[in-house]
Every structure is written in structure tokens, then in C-alpha cells.
Amino acid sequence: MLNPGVSRIFVAVEPVDLRLGLDGLCARAQHGLALNPFGGDWVIFRNKAGNRLKLVVFDGVGFWLCYRRLDG
């Protein structure tokens, strides 16, 4: 179960190519943000236009990769 009460939430300010999958985004979190992908922190990535987001988080069992398209 995802518990944001004990995790930190990071938003990557540099836009990324959202065609990247889980491995590519975890590599960005590890090398670009100096975060441990297995640490349980939430990392949010955005595209250049800022209308699409991807969330990556490890819940202790596996990774969650959530995608959101913002309209309006």
C-alpha cells in the first residue's frame, strides 16, 4: 500500500521524454536527482509542455508507474 505519510515527494523540474519507461525514469531519478529508486520516495516527471506527468514509486514489493494527461 502506498503511504505518502512516510515518503518524500520529488518533482523533477527538468522536462523528460515521457517515452522513457520505468527503467529509464529510475535511471533519471538515480543519476539526475541522486535518489535511490528503491527508497520509497515518489518522483514525478513532466514533459516539455507540462501537460503530461509520470509518477514512479517503489512500494516494497514492486514499482508503480502512473501516467496522467492534464487537459484544459
Walk me through the domains of the chain, giving residue ranges and CATH numbers: 9-69 (3.30.505)
First-to-final CA distance of the chain? 31
**Strands across the sheet containing 42-46:** 9-11, 42-46, 52-58, 63-69
The whole-number pLDDT of residue 16 equals: 96
1 alpha carbon, distance to own chain's centre: 17
Regions of the chain with pLDDT less than 70: 1-6
Note the pTM of the prediction, 2 decimals: 0.86
Determine the Cα–Cα distance for residues 71 and 28; give it in Å rounded to an integer: 26
pLDDT digits 0-9 by tens, 19-37: 999 999 999 999 999 999 9
